[in-house]
Amino acid sequence: MPEKIAITRLKLTDFRNYAEASVAFDGRHVVLTGENGAGKTNLMEAVSFLSPGRGLRRAAYGDLPRAHGSGGFTIFADVDGMEGEVKVGTGMTGGEDIASRQLRINGTQAKSMDELLDHVRLLWLTPAMDGLFTGAAGDRRRFLDRLVLSIDPAHGRRASDFERAMRSRNKLLSDGRVDPSWLSGIEQQMASLGIAMMLARHEMLGLLAKLIEETAGGSPFPSATLMLSGFFDGEYHRPAIDLEDDYADMLARGRYRDQAAGRTLEGPHRADLLVRHREKDMEAERCSTGEQKALLVGLILAHARLAANMTGFAPILLLDEIAAHLDEGRRAALFDLIDNLGGQAFMTGTDRAMFSALADRAQFFTVANGAVSE
C-alpha cells in the first residue's frame, strides 16, 4: 500500500468569501456540504494552491482576495507529507503587485512553487472539466501536463522554460530580427525542451495505459484509451537526439511562415490528447454526457493509482460535486475505489445523504456563508 499524504489543518485569511477560517482534519476523507454559493468549492480551491500553478479554477491572482478585505490573501496548511510533517504558507499581499504569490515552507521562503511537489501531490476533478473531451485542445494539454507533473516534478519547469523560449523567438520574428545565429540558439533550446516534454507525456501515457489494461473490468467506470496527436506522431521510439535535431530544423525552415502567422506553428504546444471509450471503442467526444463524466472519473482514479505506484504516496484528491449525477450504487462503488487508493480525498455536495456510504471513513463539515463547522 502507498503511504498517505494528509492535510491536518487549513487556515484561510481573506480568501474568496472567507474572512477567516481554520479547520482541523484528522486524516480521513473530508466531505463539505452546503448550499450552492456557500464556499465549498472556494475551500477546495484553497487546498489546490498547495500545488504549483493557479489552482483548480485557473483564476487570476487578483480575483482571489476577499472583497473589501486587505487586498491580499493567505493560505496556511499543516501537511503530513512525503518528507514528513511540514507547514506550508502561500498567498499574496495587498497592493499593486498581484502577478504572483509567495510560498514559505516551514517558515523559509521557497525558491519556486515546484518545492511543493516535494511534499504533496494533488489531483482534482471539477464540473468545469465535464467538457474536456469536446472542448479546446489547450484544455486537454493542460489536463495532460498536470497528470505528468504528478509523477514527474521536472515537467512543469520544462514546460515553462519552453514557453519562455518560444515567446522570445516569436518576439524576434515579429520585430523582423531574423538573425540566424540568435534564432538558432533559441531554437536549439526549444528543441531540447520540446522533445523532453513530448517524451515525458508519452511515457506517462504508456504507464497509464498499462495500468488501465491490467485493471480493466474491475471498475464500475469505463476505461480510456489514450494517445498523443499533432507533434511527431508515431515517432516516439526514435532517439531523442535525432528528434531534437529534426525539430530544430523544422523551426528553422518555418521562420518566415511563423513570422507571417505571428506564432510558432509546430511544437508540443500544438499537441492534443485523444481519448477513446475503451469498452465501446468510441471517441470520447461522441459519447453521451453521462458516459464522458464516467470516463473522466475512471481516468482520474486510474491516474491516482499510477501516481501512488510511481511515488509511493497516494495523492490527495479534490472532487467537486463528484456524486451529483451518480445513482446510489455507483456512488458507493466510487467511494470504495477512492478509499482503496489509500489517500485523503476532499469531496463537495449539496446533500450530505449522498455521502452516507462513506460512513465513518470521512469527516463531515457544513459550509455556510464563509464559515465551516463539523
The answer to whether residue 234 sits within a structural domain is: no
- CA torsion sign for 244, 247, 253, 254 is negative
Contact between 277 and 287 (Cβ < 8 Å): yes
- For residue 355, give its domain range: 1-121+315-374
- At 10, is the secondary structure helix, strand, or coil? strand
CB atoms within 10 A of CB 68: 8
- CA-based nearest residue to 206, from 106, 126, 109, 303: 303
Return all residues near 217 (Cβ < 8 A) that are at least 6 apart. none
List, run by run, the mean pLDDT of 10-residue segments along the chain (374 residues): 92 95 96 93 96 92 89 95 96 70 94 93 94 94 95 94 97 88 95 97 95 82 93 91 97 95 96 94 93 92 94 96 86 93 95 93 94 91
The answer to whether residue 105 sits within a structural domain is: yes
Contact between 224 and 276 (Cβ < 8 Å): yes
- Strand bridging mode 272-277 / 224-229: antiparallel
Show the DSSP H helices in 150-216 as ranges: 154-174, 180-215
Q: Global pTM?
A: 0.93
What's the structural domain count of the chain? Answer: 1
Contact between 138 and 309 (Cβ < 8 Å): no
The answer to whether residue 184 sits within a structural domain is: no
The answer to whether residue 139 sits within a structural domain is: no
What digits encode the pLDDT tens for the residues 64-97? 999 888 889 999 999 999 999 999 999 988 665 5
Distance CA 291, CA 130 (A): 10
Return all residues near 174 (Cβ < 8 A) that are at least 6 apart. 259, 262
The answer to whether residue 345 sits within a structural domain is: yes
What phi and psi values does residue 268 have, to the nearest 5 degrees? -65, -20
Return all residues near 304 (Cβ < 8 A) that are at least 6 apart. 123, 314, 315, 317, 341, 343
The answer to whether residue 101 sits within a structural domain is: yes
Grid cell for residue 277: 471509450
Residue 215 has what pLDDT? 81
Residue 68 has what pLDDT? 87
The answer to whether residue 329 sits within a structural domain is: yes
Q: What's the CATH code of the domain at 351? A: 3.40.50.300
The answer to whether residue 330 sits within a structural domain is: yes
